[in-house]
Amino acid sequence: MRSSWKFFIVVEALLFILTAYQLIQNPGAIAIVLFALVNLVYALKREVKTSFNQFQMIVSVAVIILCLLISSPIIWIMMVFAVIFIGLKGVEVSGVALFDSAPWRKKHMVMVETAESDPKNGRRFKRPWIGNQRIGSNVYEWDDINFTIISGDTIIDLGNTLLPKTDNVIMIRKGFGRTRVLVPVGIGIVLEHSTLLGNVIFEDEFFRVKNESLKIYSDDYDGNNRRLKIVTSTLMGDVEVIRI
From 163, 145, 146, select the one nearest 225 (Cα to Cα).
Answer: 163
Q: Looking at the domain assignment, is residue 147 inside a domain?
A: yes
Please say which residue of 32, 63, 94 terminates a domain: 94
Phi and psi at residue 166, to the nearest 5°: -165, -170
Locate the DSSP E strands across the chain: 133-135, 145-151, 154-157, 167-176, 179-183, 188-202, 205-217, 227-236, 239-243
pLDDT at residue 239 in the model: 92
Q: Give the pLDDT band (50/70/90) at residue 3.
A: low
Q: Looking at the domain assignment, is residue 115 inside a domain?
A: no
Identity (one letter) of the amino acid at 235? L
Q: Looking at the domain assignment, is residue 209 inside a domain?
A: yes
Contact between residue 194 and residue 213 where contact means Cβ atoms under 8 Å apart: yes
pLDDT at 122 over 70: no
Average pLDDT over every residue of 160-166: 83
Contact between residue 43 and residue 63 where contact means Cβ atoms under 8 Å apart: no
Q: Looking at the domain assignment, is residue 140 inside a domain?
A: yes
Query: How many residues does the structure list for the chain?
Result: 244
Q: Looking at the domain assignment, is residue 110 inside a domain?
A: no
Distance CA 63, CA 19 (A): 17
**Do 88 and 155 belong together in one domain?**
no
pLDDT at residue 105 in the model: 52
CA 218 to chain centre: 28
Please say which residue of 42, 73, 94 terminates a domain: 94
Identity (one letter) of the amino acid at 191? L
Q: Give the pLDDT band (50/70/90) at residue 43.
A: confident
Q: Give the pLDDT band (50/70/90) at residue 109.
A: low
**Do 89 and 140 belong together in one domain?**
no
Q: Give the pLDDT band (50/70/90) at residue 89.
A: low
**Do 61 and 154 belong together in one domain?**
no
Q: Looking at the domain assignment, is residue 223 inside a domain?
A: yes
**Do 84 and 175 belong together in one domain?**
no
Domain membership of residue 90 as a residue range: 2-94
pLDDT at 133 over 90: no
**Do 89 and 174 belong together in one domain?**
no
pLDDT at residue 79 in the model: 83
From 114, 111, 108, 150, select the one nearest 129 (Cα to Cα).
Answer: 150
Average pLDDT over every residue of 18-31: 78
**Do 28 and 89 belong together in one domain?**
yes
Q: Looking at the domain assignment, is residue 15 inside a domain?
A: yes
* Cα distances (Å, whole numbers) of residue 92 to 7, 180, 210: 16, 15, 32
Please say which residue of 67, 94, 121 terminates a domain: 94
**Dihedral sign from CA coordinates of 77, 79, 82, 84:** negative
Higher pLDDT among residues 137 and 13, named by residue: 13
The mean of the pLDDT values for the chain is 79
From 54, 72, 63, select the one nearest 35 (Cα to Cα).
Answer: 63
Q: Give the pLDDT band (50/70/90) at residue 232.
A: very high
Provide the domain count of the chain: 2
Q: Looking at the domain assignment, is residue 123 inside a domain?
A: no
- Angle at CA 196, nearest 5°, toward 190 and 199? 55
**Do 87 and 140 belong together in one domain?**
no
Q: Give the pLDDT band (50/70/90) at residue 2.
A: low
